[in-house]
Structure 1
Amino acid sequence: MKRLVIKVGSAVLREGNLLAMDRLNNLVDLIAKLKIEKKYEIILVSSGAVAAGNTTLNLDKTKVLNRQALAAIGQPLLMKHYKKRFADYGFKCAQMLLVADDFDSRKRSANAKGVMEILLQNNIIPILNENDVIANEELLIGDNDQLGAHAAVFFEADMLAILSDIDGLYDCNPHENPNAKMRKIVTHLEEEELEMKHTPNSEFATGGIVTKLKAANLLLKNGKMMYLSSGFDLTNAYDFLLHENHKSGTLFKK
């Protein structure tokens, strides 16, 4: 059975001061269909805890402790919505909050891998996020694009799919150049592409295209694939992930 990691970002899961429930519902629908029709094992890496927390308490998100407090409030809210929606399809989900040490420490790594295998063997959908509440800068992986990439490699997935406000990799900035063309297949990334300035599109986001390219680069180095597509309109994700029809979005592969 193929194993797929799906990562969805804060920009997709938040609308104004509320969780974007329509997009969260659409994501759950996609995952359920992939599990039912394609028989995938799926690991979900979901941002949105800070954004969910902000719906209850409005704090200055530029301060680290405030973001951690919002994550503490928002994580159970986010999981409540996932639990309810996955239950509509008869699926159960579980939460795993990770930090960098969980991938680097031999004992903690073995524990994380063991728990993951038990969950997947029992048809549970693991929902991963960084443990923002207690982690300091030294422990953090940095962003959920990197968490998704590490999870795909560490938990031996076949592919990472990032569903984002960025619908693919273009040959130049599509916001500045209307003639920009999407690069549908990328087999190699240049060093300068990985060192561009971060350009997050949301005050809740921590990355931008650069963090996605770094995630893709890690997967390419490990002989795995990554698919980057829109999380706002899942049409292309359905085409590619469910029907194996690559109409749009960027596929990174060797």
Structure 2
Amino acid sequence: MSERPAIEAIDDETVEQARDQAAAAQRVIVKAGTNSLTDTDSQLDRVKLDKLVSDIMTLRERGKDVLLVSSGAVGAGKGLIDEETETVEESQALSTVGQSHLMRHYTQSFDRYDQTVAQILLTEHDLSNP
């Protein structure tokens, strides 16, 4: 039986420095993954989404610029269609269905704070040709 190497812990000073830098940042990028937006049945979880929006608005009230990068379109699509995907094309189809569902819920949630939302859909070309 082979022994796995121990994971090196980050010292408290490094953690504290990272927290201080994050607190001092003017711009915050929030990445919301599919699991943080959906429940165990792959349905879009409005409570989770509303909590995320509330947290973002708290940051904005503190004067932070916030950019939300959101996954979840495929998960939202699965929740609507209740189909598993086996191919890239099937995932793309679920994403197409789920994207409008996801944006509708973001719009409704941000409306509570009189905030307008917009989306930018990125392609591989956008990321490989900055």
Distance 1:3 1:91 in 2: 18
SS in 1 for 2:67: strand
Q: What TM-score does the superposition give when structure 2 sets the normalisation length? A: 0.75
Distance 1:78 1:57 in 2: 14
Segments of structure 2 that go 5 or more residues without pairing to the other structure are 1-24
Shift of 1:99: 2.2
Deviations 1:193-241 (A, max 9, x none): xxxxxxxxxxxxxxxxxxxxxxxxxxxxxxxxxxxxxxxxxxxxxxxxx
Does residue 32 (structure 1) correspond to residue 32 (structure 2)? The answer is: no
Does residue 20 (structure 1) correspond to residue 45 (structure 2)? The answer is: yes
Identity %: 34
Does residue 94 (structure 1) correspond to residue 118 (structure 2)? The answer is: yes
SS in 1 for 2:82: coil
The within-5 A match list for 1:1-254 is 2-15=26-39, 16-36=41-61, 38-105=62-129, 109=130
Deviations 1:17-57 (A, max 9, x none): 41111111100000011101x11111101111011111221
Q: Which runs of 4+ in 1 moved over 3 A?
A: none
Aligned CA RMSD, in angstroms, stands at 1.5
Tell me, yes or no, if the aligned pair for 2:78 and 2:84 is still in contact at 8 Å.
no
Tell me, yes or no, if the aligned pair for 1:10 and 1:47 is still in contact at 8 Å.
yes
Matched residue type, 1:57 = I
Tell me, yes or no, if the aligned pair for 1:50 and 1:71 is still in contact at 8 Å.
yes
Equivalent pairs, count: 105
Tell me, yes or no, if the aligned pair for 1:53 and 1:72 is still in contact at 8 Å.
yes
Q: Quick check: which has more Rg, 1 or 2?
A: 2
SS in 1 for 2:121: strand
Segments of structure 1 that go 5 or more residues without pairing to the other structure are 110-254
Q: What TM-score does the superposition give when structure 1 sets the normalisation length? A: 0.39
